[in-house]
Amino acid sequence: MENITFAISELNSYLVFISLVAGVYWAYFIGKHRDERGYQIIGKASIFSFIIVIGFVSFSMLFNLSGQIPNEALTEYLIFTYTMAMIVFALCLFIYNHKSIS
């Protein structure tokens, strides 16, 4: 379990940087697309990122309650969850924006 916690911790440092890039794209998209089509794209992307958050948090809590994830590593898993949600949100914004353009 030590190796998995260390791997998640090391992965989180990369994911935090990627989520910052995703956050910049997110802010750029919201600032640029203030029309009805932009709001529809944001709504679709929010659905998928919300599913990711609920899924990963439920998964983490179930494994924490069963004792397979120690309490010290739970913070790392939650950071992983929220960074993955930001990345999925930014990717959905990018994909839906390019689908609606073409």
Q: What is the pTM of this model?
A: 0.76
* Calpha distance 69→77 (Å, rounded): 9
23-67 pLDDT tens trace? 888 888 888 888 888 888 888 888 988 998 898 888 888 888 887
Six-digit token pair at 89? 């949100």
* Calpha distance 31→28 (Å, rounded): 5
The domain tally of the chain equals 1
CB 78 within 8 A of CB 57: yes
Which residue range forms the structural domain that includes residue 91?
A: 2-101
CB 12 within 8 A of CB 51: no
CB atoms within 10 A of CB 15: 19
